[in-house]
Every structure is written in C-alpha cells, then in structure tokens.
Amino acid sequence: MLILIVSSCQSKKAVHLKTVLEQKERVVFNILLGKNGPNEQKLKCLIDGDFKCAQKAITEAEQAFDKIISEINALETGDVKYGNELKSATSNYYKAVKESEIFDRLVIAQQQISQDKTNTEKIRDAAIHQQGQLLRNKLEMRKIISKKEQVLAKVQQQFNLLNHLH
C-alpha cells in the first residue's frame, strides 16, 4: 500500500526526464572512458604518434557531446518540478566537460610541434613551454567542471526530493 502511495506521487514526466538524463550520462561515460570510445582512440593515436588521428578522435567526441547537449536542451520539462533547473545544470556540466575535451586539440598541436625534429630547438622548446601553460589552463578547466558537477548534484538532489524520486 505504501509503495502505491509513493509511486502515485511521482510524476511520469519526472521519471521520464530522470531516465533520459541517466541514459545521456551513460553515453558520456562511454565517450570518456568506454572501450573503443573517442577518448581511448585519442590515447591510442597519441601513443602511436599519430596526431591527425588524435585530432579526429577529439572531433568525434565533440560531435557526440554536441548531440547530447542539443538533445538535453530539446527535452520537454513541462510542469515537472525543478525540471528546467535539472536540464540546465546537466547541459552546463556537459558543455564544460566538452570544452575540456576539445581543449586537447591545442595541447596536441603543441605536442606535435615539440616532437617535430624538422623544427629548430628554439621552436620545439617554445612548444614545450606552451604545453605547460595549456596544461595549467586545463587544470583550471577541471576546477570549473568540478564546480558545475557540484551544482548538478545539488540540483539532482532537489529534483529527486521535489518529485519523490530516489
């Protein structure tokens, strides 16, 4: 009887929104960490010294993120309590992750210059120095991602509470 009462308090739209966003989260996981995903492909390319292949993998990840973000932004939240906030926080988080991932293009370009023996030592050293600066910038991006992740976690918690979801 209690289960019936709790489930009747849940909005079908809220359950659907949560389910769709969880599915998107699994897709993002596969982009970032999945076997044969774009990130794994990028790393394999870099290990092989194939910078063009690594850039292609980044483009693939970027396109996948763009698709996910546009699908999230297109979701109807209707009268779902805290639905727009959840949609916005999720989209903002994935945008930040995407920016961090595509930032690797700059790092890879400098890595390629630094490893190209046809460049002078001065050019290669400058590229190595630039790589260091880019990695410091990437660290700052990670801090932004962490903040957006914290916001998302709070919004998810509030969404679940208001919509009687667990």
- Segment 77-132, tens digit of pLDDT: 988 999 999 999 999 999 999 999 999 999 999 999 999 999 999 999 999 999 99
Phi-psi region of 120 (alpha: psi -120 to 50; beta: other; left: phi over 0): beta
Nearest to 73 by CA among 38, 81, 147, 65: 65
Q: 82: which DSSP letter?
A: T
Return the residue matching tokens 């297109």.
Answer: 74
How many beta carbons lie within 10 A of that of residue 40, not counting itself?
16
Which among 116, 137, 143 has a CA at the least distance from the CA of 127?
116
Least confident among 47-51, 77-81, 121-125, 151-155 = 77-81
φ, ψ dihedrals at 26, nearest 5°: -65, -35
The predicted model scores a pTM of 0.89
Structural domains counted in the chain: 1
Q: What percentage of the chain exceeds 90 in pLDDT?
A: 90
The parent domain of residue 18 ranges over 2-162
Q: d(Cα 139, Cα 120) in Å, to the nearest integer?
A: 29
